[in-house]
Amino acid sequence: GENVEQHPSTLSVQEGDSAVIKCTYSDSASNYFPWYKQELGKGPQLIIDIRSNVGEKKDQRIAVTLNKTAKHFSLHITETQPEDSAVYFCAASPRSGNTGKLIFGQGTTLQVKP
Amino acid sequence: DGGITQSPKYLFRKEGQNVTLSCEQNLNHDAMYWYRQDPGQGLRLIYYSQIVNDFQKGDIAEGYSVSREKKESFPLTVTSAQKNPTAFYLCASSIVGRDIQYFGAGTRLSVL
């Protein structure tokens, strides 16, 4: 079935450094790839997304890259700040028609040390 | 304020008991979703609905039931058949035909 693998499961960086989280997906027909940030005890919030007709998208300190051939996409956070500490999830929309379903990765816990 | 409201924030279930988690949205979204979140496993889809009075099973529907009598509401019942119900439950909604999902704050369910 459809699957999204996310790595690493935990990531610790110093404030000001960059952080990179990587995901691979199995369904080559997937065409939408969002990234969500979840703070402790809260629901996930969309931070950036990309569609399959685009290779890269940026929003201030956050960027996402997509390699359709390799079925791989990544989240890049530059100049990390302590408030970036959270769990990050990638997701992909599977082949199964216009259901709006998303398949989520396992999550990455990012810790930014002051 | 538009958004998704989940209640209660914390819920405890006794052995053999059914419990119902509430999800209400005022975003005028047609599609609604229920996810279960366990540590290290990401979000897994339980049920989803794209229109009133219709819903489909997700990947882990066994032991759960839903209803969609109103566009704004999509309650989830965790039945006694769900033997391992302890988890964080998240409700989401979206516009049909649009991929972006918006999430509520979640309900944490524990077993007494």
Mean pLDDT, 10 residues at a time, over chain A (114 residues)? 91 98 94 94 93 90 96 97 97 74 94 96
**A93: which chain B residues are within 8 Å (Cβ-Cβ)?**
99
DSSP, residue by residue, A49-83: EEETT-SEEEETTEEEEEETTTTEEEEEE-S--GG
Q: Provide mean pLDDT across the span B55-70.
A: 96
SS3 A84: helix
Cβ–Cβ below 8 Å for B48 and A107: no
Which two tokens mark A77? 């956070």
What dihedral do alpha carbons A50, A65, A57, A54 form, nearest 10°? -60
Which of chain A's residues have a Cβ under 8 Å away from the Cβ of B107? none
pLDDT tens digit sequence for B1-43: 569 999 999 999 888 899 999 999 999 999 999 999 998 788 9
Residue of B nearest to A33 (CA): B99
Cβ count within 10 A of residue A53: 8
Element counts in chain A: helices (H) and strands (E): 0, 11
